[in-house]
Structure 1
Amino acid sequence: MAQTRKASRYIVPVAVAGVAAATIGLVPALAASGDPDLPEITAQQLIEKIAASDTQTLSGTFRISTDLGLPLDGLTSALGGVGGGGPSSADPSERLTQLVSGSHTLRVAADGPERQKLTLLDGSDEYSLIHNGDDVWAYDSKSNEVFHEKAPAGADAHAPQEKELPGTPKQLADEVLKAAGDTTSITVDGTAKVAGRDAYQLLIKPKQSGSTVESVKIAVDAANGTPLKFTLASVEGGKPVVDAGFTKVDFSKPAASDFTFKAPEGAKVTEGGAEKAAEEAAGEKGDPFGGQLPGGLEDAFGGFGPGAGSDKGGVNVIGEGWTTIAKIDTGAPAPKTDEAPKEFQGLLDSFGDKVTGAFGSGTVFKTKIVNALLTDDGKVYVGAVTKDALVDAANAGK
């Protein structure tokens, strides 16, 4: 138990360094060769086309490749050794984390907001996640385990959002372009073929220096406005941070049978509600954070990119646009690396840089997109910005 408590102190910087995964939308993407000759279109018109798209049904196959610049094999091994036990191998919160590393092939199907299916292919093994009405099923063929979760009674899946969106595609396009302001360049960067379909390419680039984002490129179906391509590139160069893509896509209505599921005979079935209660009980006994990151770190992770606010959820948000930095004061000195369990020491050193400045000293934990500075006196500066930008913010004492 003492080892578990001690090790859990080091999950915080590891989780901070791995937060890039939470900032990436898994929008399917991958352009094929051959650029179609399409009518000219402006960036605003293309945004309007995206906003006007009402694609409710589709099925297809796509590949996703992710390179965050993290030693994720070591991270998984180290975290897997903490605590013991663990959830069902079919739990989506566990299985889908593998998409943040390497290349994967997936099959997808959708029939409106009530029915979706995703199947992750891994050799001869498959992992399927099915949403059908109030039920969510997940099945891992390798372990023959099933995870099931039901929506709470009385829950309204169609409840209106707190913030009302603009009423027309034109208004939405105006809002997007206005939000970009002086911090972002939005242009149409030619055309592409994606899964055999003609597409326009929308290119979004920060104008500010200090951001780790080099560009975001979205391919948009020329016929129906559905986003088909998303490529996120880092200023570090090399492979894209995210490059996922349809190799086949069909916009006709999938068969209803695609979304039905019955647990195979002999499969172990885990109910999500029961598992959550067990996790909460374990958190109270063995995890000092109760399964949550301290000091508002979780709130900070959604605050990067153009349009980020100044203060949210108790987190002090510095700057604007692509160079937004969230500052959190944990109120406790940072753990010393040399006190970490041996399975964490090499891992922390592999993606942490010691830094000093007017603020004192600390460690910058790096990914290709999101970086975090954890000062020795317990302050955290995190954002999709470079190491120098984090140190400058800490030195300014903001």
Structure 2
Amino acid sequence: MAPYEPEKDTSESADLRAGRRKAARYAVPIAVAGVAAVTIGLVPALATSGDPDLPKVTAQELIEKIAASDTQQLSGNVKISTDLGLPSFGGMAGGFGGGGGADRDEDGGSEGSAADPKNKLMELASGTHTLRVAADGPDKQKVSVLGDASEYSLIHNGDDVWAYDSASNEAYHAKDEGASPEKGEKHGKDVPKGLEGKLPATPKEFAEQALKAVDDTTSVKVDGTAQVAGRDAYRLVIEPKQAGSTVGRITVAVDEKTGTPLKFTLTPASGGAAVVDAGFTKVDFGKPSASTFDFTPPKGTKVTEADEHGEQGRGFKDKGGKKFEEGDLNEPKVIGEGWSSIAELKLPGGQGLPTAGSGDVPQDAQKLLDSLGDQVDGKFGSGTVFSTRLINALVTDDGTVYVGAVTKDALVKAADEAH
């Protein structure tokens, strides 16, 4: 089927921006809207079949269809895969907080919980994962990450947020306190308290983030149809117009009947497999059973309350032994606009990465660090570029970081122009 092209008129860009704003404003918490948002990944090329003959729509009409969708009840399975091109650390993963267990303090004691959602992010940042999801409005969501012989579940039910890791028999409990005294808002309206701003996991959440980028720097069109999870869908294609971005294209399969995004695929400008490919393999828009969202810790489960260690931030020490927390990082300065924008920020202490020559890191650790990055220099001096298939970061020797979904050359150019 030939691609559908959007209508060409002088108001198209304004219409697309208006549709994007509406999509953000009318976003509904489907498929664990903030609960699932602590997971990441996606489908290894979800099988799609057929080329359904659907009524022709423009890109603007399809964006409006997403904005108008009001899907608040569903259940189903999502397959998630990510391929950022990161090296495998093997047994070292646990040392970076990705081993699935609780952190250890300096005395060897346990700090935190293996069920804490933050401890699952590293595990889900690569590879393929199967999720079972369910949602019933803004106050009831559940996502389960299915393993070979274990299951990790995150449940939001009213005022309670529970996470349970069957492998360690540990649970993590937090309260969704509802009203925010600063803004007078309900946390539960969109995401449970403490899970705001986490990484998206469902096709709808990915699509909403992509639609926020729709402006004059973006090409948007409807490119045919497909079937996803047995449902007819339109294919919305979003591509950067600017040079220098590592994003090639984003494709969103939009359910023809409900306007719900069913699949999200991000392919890099360099080609090859998708960086993120997320989609439903099975979906039901009926009301899930109320018992789906019930949870009581099994007998013998170690339960950790969020406020027991919620204020303990992860920090690091500079050469003088001063400890810096996450909050010490300054607000980034944004260079450029659109898809080629770059964030510039300063590392605490005004210094670059530690080196073996200065005695700050072991020789073996220095070799690993060197193998992960490329040495570059320019008007800014010298530094190291750490690359993935999507996000690249330049860390200069004077402690300045430039990061974005842009090429290495774009980072070096930005650093030169800043000096």
Query: What's the TM-score once normalised by structure 1's chain length?
Result: 0.79
Query: 1:141: which partner in 2?
Result: 166
Give 1:345 deviation, angstroms.
2.8
Pick which of 268-277 and 23-32 moved more.
23-32
Aligned: 1:157 with 2:191: no
- Give distance in 2, aligned partners of 1:283 and 1:370: 23
Alignment deviations for residues 155-174 of structure 1 (CA, whole Å, 9 cap, x no partner): 5526999xxxxxxxxxxxxx
* Counterpart in the other structure of 1:8: none
What's 2:277 paired with?
Answer: 243
1:387 aligns with 2:408: yes
The alignment status of 1:274 with 2:308, answered yes or no, reads yes
1:200 aligned to 213, 218, 234, which one?
A: 234
Moved more, 45-54 or 64-73: 64-73
Cα deviation 1:257-311 (Å, max 9, x = unaligned): 000000101111111111214x259989x98222x16433xxxxxxxxxxxxxxx
Which residue does the alignment assign to 1:228?
Answer: 262
Asked whether 1:372 is paired with 2:393, we answer yes
RMSD across aligned C-alpha pairs, in angstroms? Answer: 3.0
Asked if structure 1 preserves the Cα contact closer than 8 Å seen for 2:226 and 2:253, the reply is yes
Aligned residue in 2 for 1:12: none
* One-letter amino acid of the counterpart of residue 260, structure 2: T
| Structure 2 CA distance for partners of 1:158 and 1:335, relative to 1, 3 Å | closer
Alignment-derived partner of residue 354 in structure 2: 336
Structure 1: gaps spanning 5 or more residues: 1-21, 162-175, 297-312
In structure 2, distance between residues paired with 1:210 and 1:65: 25
**Structure 1 CA distance for aligned equivalents of residues 38 and 380 of structure 2:** 27
* 1:114 aligned partner: 139
SS state of the match for residue 180, structure 1? coil
Amino acid at match of 1:248: K
Cα displacement (A) at 1:380: 1.2
> Does the residue aligned with 2:272 lie in a helix, a strand or coil?
coil
Question: Which of 74, 79, 101 is equivalent to 2:96?
Answer: 79
1:91 aligns with 2:116: yes
How far apart are 1:333 and its partner, in Å? 1.9
Q: Is the helix fraction higher in 1 or 2?
A: 1
Partner SS for 1:322? helix
Q: Secondary structure at the match of 1:273?
A: helix
For residue 329 of structure 1, what is the amino acid of its counterpart?
Answer: K
Structure 2 partner of 1:49: 65
Answering whether residue 329 of structure 2 is matched by residue 295 of structure 1, we say yes
Mean Cα displacement is larger for which, 48-57 or 238-247?
Answer: 238-247
Q: Deviations over 1:5-26 (max 9, x none)?
A: xxxxxxxxxxxxxxxxx99976
> Given that residues 139 and 189 in structure 2 are in contact (C-alpha distance below 8 angstroms), is that contact kept between their aligned partners in structure 1?
no
Which of 319, 325, 333 does residue 342 from structure 2 map onto? 325
Match for residue 154 of structure 2? 129
Amino acid at match of 1:326: A
Distance 1:111 1:359, change over 3 A: same
Which residue identity lines up with residue 320 of structure 1 in the other structure?
E
Measured at CA, do residues 33 and 293 of structure 1 come closer, stay the same or move farther in structure 2, by a change above 3 Å? farther
Q: Percent identical across equivalent pairs?
A: 57
TM-score using structure 2 length: 0.75
Residues 343 and 189 of structure 1: CA distance in aligned 2, closer, same or farther (over 3 Å): farther
Letter in 2 for 1:213: V
264 and 365 in structure 1: CA distance in 2 versus 1, 3 angstrom threshold? same
| Distance in 1 of aligned mates of 2:118 and 2:71 | 27
2:233 alignment partner, SS class: strand
Tell me the SS of whatever aligns to 1:337.
Answer: coil
The alignment partner of 1:289 has SS state of: strand
What SS is found at the alignment partner of 2:216? helix
* Cα distance, 1:73 vs structure 2: 2.9
